[in-house]
Amino acid sequence: MSGHYYTNNPQKESNPFRFQTTINSYNLIFQTDDGVFSKKQIDYGTRVLLEHFDPPEIDGDLLDVGCGYGPIGIVLAKSYENHKVVMVDINERAVHLSNQNILMNKVNNAVAHVGDGLSGVKQEGFASIVTNPPFRAGKDIVVNIIEEGCEKLKKDGDFWLVAQKKQGAPSLKKKMEEVFGNAEVVKRDKGYYVLKSKKID
């Protein structure tokens, strides 16, 4: 299990890779490596999530949970420069790459740090929390992100999650309804569901 991207220090020899891509009209370059999620291209679920994300209606920082090498947090930071973006991942190599990619893509309003889900985030009162969660780590981890995410949001803050139907997207929507009192399917695309809940109290 120690070689998986959702562990703290994947025991895989470094094998750096770099690619260029365009997301939401931004031309970006990403440094990646073995031992991180979706090393050679941006995961399709990440693209669908970013294409359909709406900025929060309230002021406050944004949080990218399970940031990997940084595509979600970096695109959000470029798109919404009036918001600070906090990025967190348990994987030390991924966080190091995220901070490299933040610099490489000239992002000034984002920072990545190592943390085990939301338990590793001391800050509270986020305006939006966004995640393409580590399903291979187990569904309990994803459920914890939903539950702890609600606690970390400001009132009227939004929680965004992308999941494939085969990964249990319908049951995760029910969990979000249970935790937040509401949940909607913002988009379905090739088996991926973009789900959104709002913290209303």
Residue 201 has a pLDDT of 80
Average pLDDT over residues 192-196: 97
* pLDDT digits 0-9 by tens, 55-77: 999 999 999 999 999 999 999 99
What's the rounded mean pLDDT across residues 11-40? Answer: 89
Confidence of residue 2 (pLDDT cuts 50, 70, 90): very low
CB 8 within 8 A of CB 114: yes
Q: What pLDDT is stored for residue 9 in this prediction?
A: 53
Which residues does 41 contact at the CB level (< 8 Å), separation at least 6? 19, 21
Q: What is the pLDDT of residue 170?
A: 95
Give the pLDDT band (50/70/90) at residue 40.
confident
Residue 11 has pLDDT above 70, yes or no: no
In the predicted structure, residue 133 carries a pLDDT above the cut 60: yes
Instruction: Report strand pairing: 85-89 vs 62-65.
Output: parallel
Question: What is residue 67's predicted lDDT score, i.e. its pLDDT?
Answer: 96
Look at 32-41, 50-59, 100-109 and tell me which has the smallest mean pLDDT. 32-41
Under the banding of pLDDT at 50, 70 and 90, the label for residue 14 is: confident
Instruction: Give this prediction's pTM.
Output: 0.92
Length of the chain in residues, anyone?
Answer: 201
Three-state DSSP string of the chain: CCCCCCCCCCCCCCCCEEEEEEECCEEEEEEECCCCCCCCCCCHHHHHHHHHCCCCCCCCCEEEECCCCCHHHHHHHHHCCCCCEEEEECCHHHHHHHHHHHHHCCCCCEEEEECCHHHHCCCCCEEEEEECCCHHHCHHHHHHHHHHHHHHEEEEEEEEEEEEHHHCHHHHHHHHHHHHCCCEEEEEECCEEEEEEECCC
What pLDDT was estimated at residue 3?
A: 44
The residue ranges of every structural domain in the chain are: 17-198
Q: What is the pLDDT of residue 13?
A: 83
pLDDT at 117: 86
pLDDT for 39 equals 75
CATH architecture assignment, domain 17-198: 3-Layer(aba) Sandwich (3.40)
Mean pLDDT on 27-51: 92
Residue of 111, 113, 145 whose CA lies nearest to 129: 145
Count of Cβ atoms closer than 10 Å to residue 146 Cβ: 23
Residue 200 reports pLDDT greater than 80: yes
